[in-house]
Amino acid sequence: MRKTLLCGTALLAMFGFSTMATAADTIPVGHLACYTGPTSDVGVPYGNGVADAMNYINANGGINGKKLEYETVDYSYKAPQAIATYKKWLSGIKPVAIQGWGTADTEALVQFIAKDEIPYYSASYSGHLTDPTGKSPKTKSPAPYNFFYGPSYSDTCRGLVQWAADDWAAKGGKGVPKFIHMGANHPYPNSPKEACAEYAKELGFEVLNPIVYDLKPGDAKAQCLTLKDSGANYAYMGNTAGSNISLLNSCGTVGAKPQFMANVWGWDENSIKAAQESGDGVAVPLGSPSWKSDAPGMATVRAISKTSDPSGETYRNLHYMRGVCAVFFMKDAMAVADKMDGGITGPNIKKGMEQMKDHVPAGLEGVCKPSTWTSEDHRGTTEVSVYTTTYNGGDFKFNQQSTVVVPRRDDWLGW
């Protein structure tokens, strides 16, 4: 049975699997989604990718014949609601794995899931989730059961400032370039702030005082005037796409024009179309190919998309593909766990993840980056693909700039 609980609309929809299925034939999974709230602009496509991927797996043999029995809860980006949902799941569906979402709630649940031995696949890529043993002095807390697909927020920002340093040199920049972090005072945009600033200093940047702007879209002219006065050459935007559209439109009106760089949730096709020329040139770390890509694995993604859109006509943005990848890495770990003593349990799924080396789920070649997890290091990949975007009258383009492989430094683990 699949349940979808939309707390934002108090709607409960239930879709039944075969009533002949037994407990041994199903694998309980929690799906904590953000379909409403301040990050729903990117939460909706990601959550749709997660749900479609699980339905596709069930329609194509499941995990060695076992179907994923999942419950989706829209927690509206409220950490207390996420924690309450988790506790409810423990006494209800008893998930062996969870597909999660935000940084504040994921970090709040780290110790719970470690104690309960439930692998947690978040859409938070906080560097604090990458140290499974707690050996790094920068680690907040050991995170043995946390996994995510893609480079951490910290490594992504490091990759962007590495690109920025090269860009400054290539353009013949004179003097010391200035870098500034912008974002809400919230665990998600704050996650890479210190780590990225330190690396920017290593690379020779002058790091300016951060500028705070709201996760909710709104007038940001005051922040843009501060940005203009700062003389920043490179500005990292730590918020999600909807908020960044407002920021760029506001900055365009006051003439604040540094090289903007977005985090992986901070810029996408909807942003390009909404901001139009105000967003031209934004540097973005693509975590997946776009819907128009001819990468081999996009054939599988398009088949997955048809589980909720049989016409195949719905355009899926960048975040949808990353949701698909998160589920398929979980699927492959479950397939490995199924062959272990005890079968598909949380500890066995964890072991399955930590055996992966340069792994790409079958059928998703060119979509999901090769990823490696070990019992000592949960940085799946440190590869950052940097693109800039142009509106081009509505025919938007992603322009490849560089692929930066961020070093796996020991002092960066868990940070």
* Under 8 Å between Cβ of 262 and 284: yes
CA 126 to chain centre: 9
Please write the tens of the pLDDT for every residue from 348-361. Answer: 999 999 999 999 99
Q: Which residues of the chain have pLDDT under 50?
A: 1-23
Retrieve residue 392's tokens.
């081009």
Retrieve residue 398's tokens.
């992603």
**What pTM value is reported for the model?**
0.94
Question: What was the pLDDT predicted at 20?
Answer: 32
d(CA 250, CA 234): 17
Percent of the chain whose predicted confidence (pLDDT) is above 70? 94
DSSP characters over 17-32: --TT--GGGEEEEEEE
64: left (phi over 0), alpha (psi -120 to 50) or beta: left
Please write the tens of the pLDDT for every residue from 27-77. Answer: 999 999 999 999 999 999 999 999 999 999 999 999 999 999 999 999 999
Retrieve residue 305's tokens.
């998309």
Query: Which of helix, strand or coil describes residue 66?
Result: strand
CA-based nearest residue to 138, from 70, 214, 195 = 195
Specify the length of the chain in residues: 415
User: Under 8 Å CB-to-CB from 293, ≥6 apart: which residues?
Assistant: 366, 367
Retrieve residue 35's tokens.
């379909």
**Cα separation values, 19 from 15, 25, 26, 31, Å:** 11, 11, 12, 22
- Sketch the domain layout of the chain as residue ranges: 2-152+292-353, 153-290+382-412
Element (H, E) at 251: helix 241-254
User: Under 8 Å CB-to-CB from 126, ≥6 apart: which residues?
Assistant: 103, 106, 107, 152, 153, 154, 187, 188, 191
The CATH number corresponding to 2-152+292-353 among 3.40.50.2300, 3.90.1280.10, 3.80.30.20, 1.10.287.620 equals 3.40.50.2300
d(CA 134, CA 17): 41
CA torsion 90-116-352-290 (nearest 10°) is 60
Give the N- to C-terminal CA distance of the chain in Å, as an integer: 39
Question: What was the pLDDT predicted at 394?
Answer: 84
Report angle CA 45, 194, 75 to the nearest 5 degrees.
Answer: 30
DSSP characters over 83-135: HHHHHHHHHTT--SEEE---HHHHHHHHHHHHHHT--EE-S---GGGS-SS--
* Under 8 Å between Cβ of 147 and 120: yes
* Under 8 Å between Cβ of 179 and 233: yes
**Domain 153-290+382-412 sits in which CATH superfamily?**
Response regulator (3.40.50.2300)
CA-based nearest residue to 386, from 172, 189, 157 = 157
Question: What was the pLDDT predicted at 24?
Answer: 61
